[in-house]
Amino acid sequence: MEILHKNAKKILIVLRIFIVLNKKMSNRSLSPFIALVVGILTCTQVLLAQVVGPPKPRSAPPTKKTPAVASQEIDPLPSETAGPTPPPTSSKNSLPPVPPVFADDGKTPLYDIEKALNLALQNNFKIKTAQAGIEGKIGQLIVAKATLYPIIEASARISGSNQDPFGTTSTKTDSDYVGDWGTRIKITQNIFSGFANRNRIAAAKLEHEAEYFQYQATVNAVLFDLKNQFYTILLREIEIETKKETVKQLETELERQKNLFEAGRSTKFSILRIQVNIANEKSDLLNLNQELLVAHARISDILGLSWGMAPNHEPNFKIRGELSTPPFTLDLPSILQMARTRRPELQYFDKIAKASDYKAKAERASNIPRIDLYAQGDERNNTDKPAFFDHRAELSAGIQGTWNLFDGFLGKGRALQQEANRDVNLARKMNETSRIESEVRTAFAQLQEARRVIETQKENLQRAEESVKLSKLNVETGYGTILDVLQATTDLSRSKNVESAARFRYIIAIAQIEQSISMRFSNALSGTENKP
């Protein structure tokens, strides 16, 4: 439709120029037919302007202010009747640029969870690929709608011949040279196709909507991966700090045991045992640093960031946040119901199944008669007269019918193929529903388990810290051994790691539930959902 709007005036100008040249060349012309064509094109342009209006420039939808991470806002997926809201046409216009925040050195960018989410929506390559897929479906929809408009064809030919090229006759005349030329303009409009065109357009619309839901699913998956890696980095940093604190305590105890050994109040066994524990803790510390580096590499890929050529292989950005435990009051039946109605993967399979059904109807229409209206005008030179520009015109119009009586069951086979695709997508929808329900139940169970562990570890950490103090006091008074100190220190380190891991599982379980109900920007759910 945009092409017709852009080129209609050009076609009118060309035809008007042709009329002027035609009148100058000869008194006989195609003026009545050209006038008819000009009138048809003018009426078509006016009609399109009244029905659909002039083509509007494509622009990104108005951007919404991204809520804070702790805020409660759920992105509503479009309803079945209203149709999906178009995604942003380009990532650079979809969200405002993320303002840079730097670390203490003033050079290293610092990202919290909110800025990281916005940066992923702008730079992630999977999201950009999904946007490009929607653009392709828009083109497919334009192709399907092209059957609603008339087809205008123009052709021209010119040739010349010499009837006596070798000079066999004694005299040369003008009649030995023969020129031939002609022009043709044809307009064809389909008025009945057995409802094939209507079904193909309906299928293209559904596939475009399905591609949008696929885009939504891609965004949800990318944001979940981002949250997973973001909080993995925070967890590894906490574990590293805990290990460093444990190593520091063991090194302090090692110095104290060395002093006691020199005073004759300790043994070589105690010193060796502490040194072995320090070496083991440092080995674990190296592994944690490696895991932290891997997590940074994965999140940089999600954010679309490059590390550059740093010689120490350190990331050129930092993550800021905490493993908080926001309240959660939604129950399992509510989450399951929201997942069934909001999960974009389920709506994707539903749209694709309906599109396949329309395609099957369009293929079955291949054996129904097709009716077209046409108008054709020809102008060519008069070969009976020697003048090259002496011409004649012909005008024809009518109705043309085409009936494919037998096509070797081609249409039937294609229809059966589309019906099979419909059944496959419906089966995939059922399988995806079962998988999502299992995913929600697993995340909810993990959430409950992590909550209980966090509650029990609060008192356990206090006991572990008190145990370390008492073990050292017992060694000094002679009621304990160095093994008691090592065991108490190890227990304290393990208790801190268990509590941090429980917080991590709690947050990731919420992130999994957010993905299940297609909530993007919130990191904390409550029992009340904001209405759009």
Residue 67 lies in a domain: no
Q: Look-up: residue for tokens 């102008």?
A: 379
Contact 210, 355 (CB under 8 A): yes
CATH number of the domain residue 498 falls in: 1.20.1600.10
Let me know whether 39 and 92 are in one domain: no
Find, among 268, 247, 161, 142, the residue nearest to 205 by Cα.
142
DSSP state letter for 146: G
Closest by Cα among 509, 532, 83 to 335: 509
How many angstroms separate the CA atoms of 382 and 394, rounded? Answer: 12
CA distances from 532 to 71, 82, 403, 480 (A): 15, 14, 52, 65
Contacts of 219 (CB under 8 A, 6+ apart): 121, 127, 130, 520
In a shared domain, residues 37 and 103: no
Domain total in the chain: 2
Q: What is the CA radius of gyration of the chain?
A: 38
- What are the tens digits of pLDDT across the range 59-85? 433 333 333 333 333 344 333 334 444
Range of the domain at 482: 80-160+180-319+328-516
pTM for the predicted model, two decimal places: 0.72
In a domain, 167, yes or no: no
Q: Which two tokens stand for residue 20?
A: 């002027």
Angle between helices 31-51 and 2-25 (to 10 degrees): 160
pLDDT by 10s per residue, the chain, length 532: 444 455 555 555 545 555 554 554 444 444 444 444 545 554 554 444 444 443 343 443 333 333 333 333 334 433 333 444 445 444 334 455 555 565 555 577 889 999 999 999 999 999 999 999 999 999 999 999 998 999 999 999 887 766 666 666 555 555 556 677 889 999 999 999 889 999 999 999 999 999 999 999 999 999 999 999 999 999 999 999 999 988 988 898 889 888 888 888 778 888 898 899 899 999 999 999 999 999 999 999 999 888 765 556 678 888 899 998 888 888 999 999 999 999 999 999 999 999 999 999 999 998 899 999 999 998 887 766 655 566 778 889 999 999 988 888 988 999 999 999 999 999 999 999 999 999 999 999 999 999 999 988 888 888 888 888 888 888 777 777 777 888 888 888 888 889 999 999 999 999 999 999 887 644 443 333 333 2
Task: Compute the half-sphere exposure of residue 170: CA atoms within 13 Å on the CB side of its CA.
Answer: 0
For residues 404 and 501, membership in a common domain is answered with: yes
Residue 175 lies in a domain: no
Cβ burial of 116 (10 Å; 0-12, 13-18, 19+) is buried
